[in-house]
Amino acid sequence: MVFGIALGSNLGDRAENMRRGIELLMSRVPGIRLNASAPVYETEPVDCTPGTQAFLNTVIEVEADCPPHELHTHLKDIEQALGRPEQRERNSPRTLDLDLLYADDVVSDDPVLTLPHPRMHLRRFVLEPLADIRPDLMIPGQQVSVAALLANLE
């Protein structure tokens, strides 16, 4: 199964947090393969408290022989291993944020995992790096490609 994962960090050594997150992902998920890695962008915080430090953001695409919920559990475990508290305020600063964006054409709307990510089509900090690696990707529920979604953002 092919997965898109967004990475973001705005606390501590942001680049090292992201590098370490990918390293942990690759070592913890059996048989995982990295298909693509987008450039890293520095972005202004969205919906965060005033004075929040800028984020580094990127997107990777991986292939793994596991169901989406299992990969999601790995992502949450890695966030915690790198210092992100399990209980936190929404949009608070973080050492590492790992969001599962898509899993092939899977659509899921349960309390633990919503796929595709419900706000990814509205976020430049996700669409811009994703368009670098998968511009023609059609996200389930969207009528146009990732590149077109990006072009349509204000």
Q: What structural domains and CATH numbers belong to the chain?
A: 2-117 (3.30.70.560)
pTM: 0.94
Query: What are 32's two structure tokens?
Result: 């995982």
- For the stretch 7-33, pLDDT in tens is 999 999 999 999 999 999 999 999 999
DSSP 134-149: -TT-B-TT-SSBHHHH
Task: Give the Cα separation of 131 and 42 in Å (integer).
Answer: 16
pLDDT tens per residue, range 39-68: 999 998 877 777 788 999 999 999 999 999
Calculate mean pLDDT across residues 118-138: 97
pLDDT digits (tens, 9 = 90+) for 62-111: 999 999 999 999 999 999 999 876 665 665 678 999 999 999 999 999 99
Measured distance CA(31)–CA(15) in Å, rounded: 25
Can you tell me the distance from the alpha carbon of 127 to that of 130, in angstroms, rounded to the nearest whole number? 5
Share of the chain above pLDDT 90, in %: 84
Q: How many CA atoms lie within 13 A of 151 on its CB side?
A: 7
Give the mean pLDDT of 117-125.
95
